[in-house]
Amino acid sequence: MHVQVGIIGAGPAGLMLARLLHLRGISSIVLESRNRAYVETRLRAGLLEQGSVDLINETGMGERMQREWMVHNGTEYVAGGERYRVDMWDLINRRVYIYGQQEVVKDMIAVNLAAGVPIIFEAEAREIGGLDGDKPFIRYRANGVEETIVCDFIGGCDGFHGICREAIPKAIRKDYDRVYPFGWLGILADAAPTSHELIYCQNEERGFALFTMRSPKVSRCYLQVPPDESEENWSDDRIWDELGKRLGKHEGLTLSTGKITQKSVTPMRSFVSEPMRHGRLFIAGDSAHIVPPTGAKGMNLAISDVYVLAKAMTAHYERGETELFDHYTETCLRRVWGAQHFSWWITSMMHNLPDENPFDRKRQLAELRAVLGSRAGQTLLAENYAGLPIEM
């Protein structure tokens, strides 16, 4: 089987890439190791930047999203017992949108399949090769049968644990990694959101908490916990009690509680792998980088990566140009490292670190007040949180 672009991974990166290529008349096939039901219900991020929303709409995949999204003009922060609001719309004329990643993926799958883009589920990519030649290949197994796809290019969108990044020789690959000394206990609850906008809390004594949502009736909340913590140590009552203590008392703000339907502990890390290209292989999204969820950048970076990649492939097929391929890594990493810095910055400002002393805690609170208490600081926060424009 031959196709112009073989794509490994049916997450936001792989599915957006397939759609962008299809709209330019470039053929692709998407291989996904999991079944369709798993991919469409896999719980992930839920915040979309303005640029991501614009691209989803422009590619014709946003119809249901526009009916169901939750639009946020700002975000709230609680620090030192004080409550602040960062009005993104007022500061930078941009906003963010809440729409679960699993819903984004569901829409992308439906639109791609309706357009005739092949997506093969339960197809495990086992080997990729020929990356230095003009006909790379992907060997995969589906329905108990080994198959091979020959293509012009490979889009490696198979996540942090996939095979694509590992196909880049270690002699030329450099990985940058930071593991944080805490994790997030995350819950889903049948409860109306505590606020109509996200609330980031920094409690000097107890640690970080985040109050967000997946719908007007479903809350998504997080607590900073030790990285090796087990969710089994946290009863529903203990979770709600701790969330209430970290939020504190504020006029007009009451913690909304309800039945907890899911809970899990997620470790926190920052990771970047360079380069993002080797020969005819291009990696994107979680295959190339991971950000702590504090900054809500993971899905948005994945979409940005493949926009850059699709633009390069379009230039190649329509005009025979290769210059954008040569600049793919540089172009993507400019945005990636900016997002890494922002995610690290907001994570370090909002979390308690195990080795901090009283001086560090007071300095941290002073930094938060300096940022949240000035229009200049709020503007910097808003620009990064709502997302800088996607590289064109």
Whole-angstrom distance, CA of residue 4 vs CA of residue 138: 12
DSSP secondary structure, 314-331, as one string: HHHHHH---HHHHTHHHH
Select from 264, 263, 289, 265 the least CA-distant residue to 275: 289
HEC string of 12-81 equals HHHHHHHHHHHHCCCCEEEECCCCHHHHHHCCCCCEECHHHHHHHHHCCCCHHHHHHCEEECEEEEEECC
The residues carrying an active-site annotation are 72, 200, 293, 297, 385
Q: Name 205's Cβ contacts closer than 8 Å, sequence gap at least 6.
A: none
CB 50 within 8 A of CB 387: yes
Residue 8 burial by CB count (10 A; 0-12/13-18/19+): exposed, middle or buried? buried
Helices 298-319 and 50-58 cross at an angle (nearest 10°) of: 40
Q: Which two tokens stand for residue 182?
A: 């805490």
* Residue type at 39 in one-letter notation: V
The partner residues of 7 in beta bridges, in order of sequence, read: 30, 155
Side-chain-side CA neighbours of 50 within 13 Å: the count stands at 17
Preceding peptide of 275 cis, ω within 30°: yes
CB 47 within 8 A of CB 210: no
Select from 17, 34, 96, 50 the least CA-distant residue to 285: 17
Helix and strand counts by DSSP (H, E) for the chain: 12, 19
The SS3 assignment for 143 reads coil
The partner residues of 146 in beta bridges, in order of sequence, read: 141
